[in-house]
């Protein structure tokens, strides 16, 4: 008794483990896809680029330091004072000379600093724009993940469909082979005409032809899965039985739809650009400072030398600090034009968001209704398939007894095949509807975990 109990527990435990393994096949494929599919690394790079762009846009608000150094051979002109040229502007220094050469070597070094002290909120807006760009890249990555999940699940469902169809064709092929053997025995006994053998052979060849087409589709499904999984797909690991188990209704919290969130971030970005364009009409208040160092071949006594080494004998150093205002008056006109453009684009994106939101809502209602109706119809479809199978077994017994002819038996066999194909197609349509609804709800995990 104890041995029987242990055996029963072992069988039950094995069944539970097997069911759990089968339930994780698509989940395992998804984990392999995330690890192997290159598209995800590209999306991560795009998010990283958005972060770099966001940080780069704020660099202009940090102190900007320019360095400049030059050496040259120049003529001498009377110049006084200190100069702080922008980079790329060259200065020639000189003084009245009491003799010596008419030209001399000179050098000039400057360092200048600009620091944006008051930007009237433009920095905060640029920071917000950078954050919005990162958010948009993140939602685009989420949308890409959802698309890959959907495509992987669709390919897996297609694969299961052709796998089951192939199994059924093999089963029907065996039935035709059994009928062929039976017909040959009955023809040898003189119970049925020999032409029945040819008729069964014709039907057998037709099923073999259809099976060849299904086998090609099945191999194509393996290659399609391998593209995502990144390795060989083991047909023995698939759980065809899960195909005929309907998905349990789950009540989960609202899942954000990436398409809607992308539109929302686009509107947010345009709203920030509208505000920034309004700020462009305001001036820029900056702190400025500079250091300069000059020397030439003119000595303190006013004698000029054209010797290169004498250039390092006479130096003059100066500094400058202050506050400056930059005001581009043209921005008074361009900012107004830009604001109108951004406002029009924002209005367009907001309309697109409302339209998309309404379309998703109506489409979800439609798919939910289709899913319920299809699930209800599967009950009758299962019953029809079962009745056709029982009828075939009955007619086969009657044919063996010589009570009906071969044409009637083959007709019942054709009806059974048609019912089974129709039943399988309805389950296939059911899973396509479920997958479409899950995609629109941005939550395909229940489908992945089911298989």
Q: Where are the domains of the chain?
A: 22-57+124-272+333-450, 63-120+277-331
Q: What is the pLDDT of residue 204?
A: 80
Architecture of domain 22-57+124-272+333-450: Up-down Bundle (1.20)
Lowest-pLDDT range, 230-244, 279-293, 367-381?
Answer: 230-244
| Average confidence (pLDDT) over 71-86 | 59
pLDDT for 1 beyond 50 = no
Which residues make Cβ contacts (< 8 Å) with residue 387, sequence separation at least 6?
Answer: none
Higher-scoring residue by pLDDT: 440, 187? 440
Read off the pTM: 0.75
Neighbour tally for 109: CB within 10 Å: 15
End-to-end CA distance of the chain: 37
CB-count burial class (<10 Å; 0-12, 13-18, 19+) for 170 = middle
For 127-147, how does the pLDDT look when each residue is reduced to its tens digit (9 = 90+)?
999 999 999 999 999 999 999
Q: What is the pLDDT of residue 365?
A: 92
| Average confidence (pLDDT) over 374-395 | 85
| Average confidence (pLDDT) over 156-171 | 90
| Average confidence (pLDDT) over 216-230 | 88
Residue with tokens 């096949």, as numbered in its chain: 25
Both tokens of 194, joined, read 């020999």
Spatial strand order of the sheet with 64-75 comes to 64-75, 103-118, 284-296, 314-326
Are β-strands 284-296 and 303-304 bridged in parallel, bridged antiparallel, or unpaired?
unpaired
Lowest-pLDDT range, 73-87, 173-187, 396-410, 424-438?
Answer: 73-87
């Amino acid at each position: 008794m104890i041995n029987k109990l242990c055996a029963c527990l072992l069988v039950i435990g094995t069944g539970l483990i097997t069911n759990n393994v089968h339930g994780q096949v698509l989940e395992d494929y998804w984990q392999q896809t995330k690890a192997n599919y290159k598209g995800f690394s590209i999306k991560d790079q795009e998010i990283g680029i958005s972060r770099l762009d966001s940080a780069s846009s704020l660099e202009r608000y940090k102190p900007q330091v320019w360095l400049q150094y030059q050496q040259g051979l120049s003529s001498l002109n009377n110049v006084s004072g200190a100069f702080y040229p922008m980079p790329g502007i060259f200065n020639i220094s000189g003084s009245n000379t009491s003799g010596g050469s008419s030209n001399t070597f000179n050098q000039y070094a400057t360092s200048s600093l600009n620091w944006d002290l008051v930007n009237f909120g433009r920095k905060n807006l640029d920071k917000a724009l950078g954050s919005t760009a990162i958010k948009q890249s993140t939602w685009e990555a989420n949308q890409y993940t959802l698309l890959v999940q959907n495509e992987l699940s669709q390919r897996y469902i297609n694969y299961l469909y052709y796998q089951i169809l192939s199994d059924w064709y093999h089963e029907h092929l065996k039935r035709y082979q059994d009928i062929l053997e039976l017909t040959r025995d009955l023809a040898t006994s003189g119970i049925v005409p020999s032409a029945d053998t040819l008729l069964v052979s014709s039907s057998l060849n037709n099923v073999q032809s259809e099976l060849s087409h299904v086998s090609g589709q099945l191999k194509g499904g393996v290659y399609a899965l391998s593209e995502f999984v990144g390795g060989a797909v083991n047909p023995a690991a698939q759980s065809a039985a899960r195909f005929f188990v309907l998905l349990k209704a789950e009540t989960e919290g609202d899942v954000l739809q990436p398409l809607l969130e992308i539109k929302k971030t686009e509107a947010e970005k345009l709203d920030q650009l509208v505000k920034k364009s309004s700020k462009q009409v305001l001036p820029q208040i900056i702190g400025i400072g500079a250091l300069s160092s000059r020397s030439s071949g003119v000595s303190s006594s006013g004698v000029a030398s054209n010797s290169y080494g004498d250039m390092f004998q006479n130096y003059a150093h100066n500094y400058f600090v202050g506050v400056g205002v930059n005001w581009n008056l043209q921005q008074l006109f361009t900012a107004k034009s830009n604001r109108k453009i951004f406002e029009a684009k924002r209005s367009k994106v907001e309309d697109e968001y409302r339209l998309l939101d309404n379309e998703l809502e109506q489409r979800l209602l439609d798919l939910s209704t289709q899913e319920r109706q299809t699930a209800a119809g599967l009950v009758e479809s299962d019953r029809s398939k079962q009745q056709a199978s029982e009828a075939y077994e009955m007619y086969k017994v009657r044919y063996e007894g010589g009570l009906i002819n071969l044409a009637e038996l083959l007709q019942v066999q054709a009806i059974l095949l048609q019912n089974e194909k129709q039943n399988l197609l309805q389950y296939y349509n059911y899973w396509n509807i479920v997958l479409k609804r899950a995609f629109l709800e941005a939550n395909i995990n229940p489908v992945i975990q089911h298989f």
